[in-house]
């Protein structure tokens, strides 16, 4: 019998929360939502609180399943992105940190902490190259450039229900959908130290969320302490070529210096 496994990649942000509501209303055909939890020391704590207090109870009340998944080491222990960075020997890069020339380096965070984590669940539940699961992605019409079915893993087919001609959901439509279901708006989902954050977003964190700011600064400090010991050039969480700790000491950092693009594959910040 053909596999009818259908899951939605739930990032905890506006688009995927709107998709959860649309599924509850029967407007998109998804019953199971999978969230790859990259760690309480890594993910926006507001996102994790929102999932626990609002998204998961809403899903359960409407006959949907929202499953939080974690990455595990071979010994069975949980691994977070921050742990990977802090404990790394520097042999490979985890996040797309900016090099001294302002260019982003390589990364494995999305692949190893999101795609592989949800992929393991899919394969455990019967997805194979001959029996592919359908995986919904929360990409809205205004971000259609991020939709790329060719990036699917061998055991899945990527689907973009928010782009459907009968819906054509934009990010700006999401607040009405979410609030219309009686839910508050979720915060933007992303790791505390994600280099894809824009300069005004870094400043907002600096001013309003000092614990997250300190977490990000510690990650950058750790990377550069390791680089210094290894005789390497410094790296940064922004493309402006200055340590995060010093970025706002003289006041507001001009947005015109920010050329950061968002993550382009739909697994993060949706």
Looking at the domain assignment, is residue 33 inside a domain? yes
Q: How confident is the model at residue 250 (pLDDT cuts 50, 70, 90)?
A: low
Q: 256 pLDDT band (50/70/90 cuts)?
A: very low
The verdict on pTM exceeding 0.85 is yes
How many domains, the chain?
A: 1
Instruction: Using pLDDT thresholds of 50, 70 and 90, give the confidence band for residue 175.
Output: very high
Q: What is the pLDDT of residues 33-52, one digit of tens each?
A: 999 999 999 999 999 999 99
Residues 135/158, Cβ–Cβ less than 8 Å: yes
Structure confidence at residue 255 as a pLDDT band (50, 70, 90): low
Rounded Cα gap, residues 197 and 5, in angstroms: 34
- Asked whether residue 32 is assigned to any structural domain, the reply reads yes
Residue with the larger pLDDT of the pair 261 and 89: 89
Candidates 107, 105, 93, 148; CA nearest to 264 is 148
The CATH number linked to 166 is: 3.40.50.620
* Bridge partners (DSSP) listed for residue 9: 34
Provide the pairing of β-strand 71-72 with 78-79. antiparallel
CA distance 200 to 202: 5
Residue 122 falls inside a structural domain:
yes
pLDDT at 252: 63
Mean per-residue pLDDT over the chain, rounded:
91
* Residue 100, in any domain of the structure: yes
pLDDT for position 262: 55
Q: What percent of the chain has pLDDT over 70?
A: 92
Percent of the chain at pLDDT > 90 equals 81
Q: How far apart, in whole angstroms, are the C-alpha atoms of residue 237 and residue 115?
A: 23
Segment 49-76, tens digit of pLDDT: 999 999 999 999 999 999 999 999 999 9
Give the mean pLDDT of 144-148: 92
Residue 27 inside a domain? The answer is: yes
Question: Band of the pLDDT at 249, cuts 50, 70, 90?
Answer: confident
Residue 133 lies inside a defined structural domain of this protein: yes
pLDDT mean over 180-208: 94
* Inter-residue long-range contacts of 231-236, CB under 8 Å, 24+ positions, other chains counted: 232/90, 233/99, 233/100, 234/100, 235/97, 235/98, 235/99, 235/100, 235/105, 236/97, 236/98, 236/100, 236/195
In a domain, 229, yes or no: no
pLDDT of residue 92: 79
The domain containing residue 36 runs over which residues? Answer: 6-191
Lowest mean pLDDT among 85-89, 181-185, 201-205, 258-262: 258-262
> Is 266 domain-assigned?
no
């Amino acid at each position: 019998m053909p596999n009818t496994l259908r899951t939605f990649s739930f990032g905890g942000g506006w688009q995927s929360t709107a998709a959860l509501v649309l599924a509850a209303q029967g407007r998109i055909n998804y019953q199971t939502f999978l969230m790859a939890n990259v760690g309480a020391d890594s993910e926006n704590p507001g996102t994790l609180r929102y999932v626990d207090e609002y998204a998961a109870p809403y899903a359960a009340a409407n006959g949907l399943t929202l499953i939080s998944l974690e990455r595990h080491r071979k010994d069975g222990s949980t691994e977070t992105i921050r742990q990977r960075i802090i404990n790394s020997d520097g042999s490979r890069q985890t996040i797309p940190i900016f090099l001294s020339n302002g260019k982003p380096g390589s990364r494995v965070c999305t692949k190893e902490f999101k795609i592989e984590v949800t992929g393991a669940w899919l394969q455990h539940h019967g997805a194979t190259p001959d029996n592919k699961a359908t995986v919904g992605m929360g990409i809205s019409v205004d971000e259609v450039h991020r939709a790329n079915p060719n990036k699917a893993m061998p055991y899945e087919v990527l689907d973009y229900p928010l782009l459907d001609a009968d819906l054509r959901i934009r990010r700006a439509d999401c607040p009405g959908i979410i609030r219309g279901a009686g839910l508050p708006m979720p915060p933007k989902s992303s790791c505390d130290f994600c280099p894809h954050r824009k300069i005004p977003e870094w400043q907002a964190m600096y001013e309003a969320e000092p614990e997250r700011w300190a977490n990000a600064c510690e990650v950058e400090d750790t990377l550069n302490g390791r680089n210094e010991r290894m005789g390497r050039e410094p790296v940064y969480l922004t493309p402006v070529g200055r340590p995060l700790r010093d970025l706002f000491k003289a006041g507001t950092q001009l947005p015109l210096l920010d050329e950061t693009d968002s993550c382009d594959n739909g697994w993060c910040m949706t």
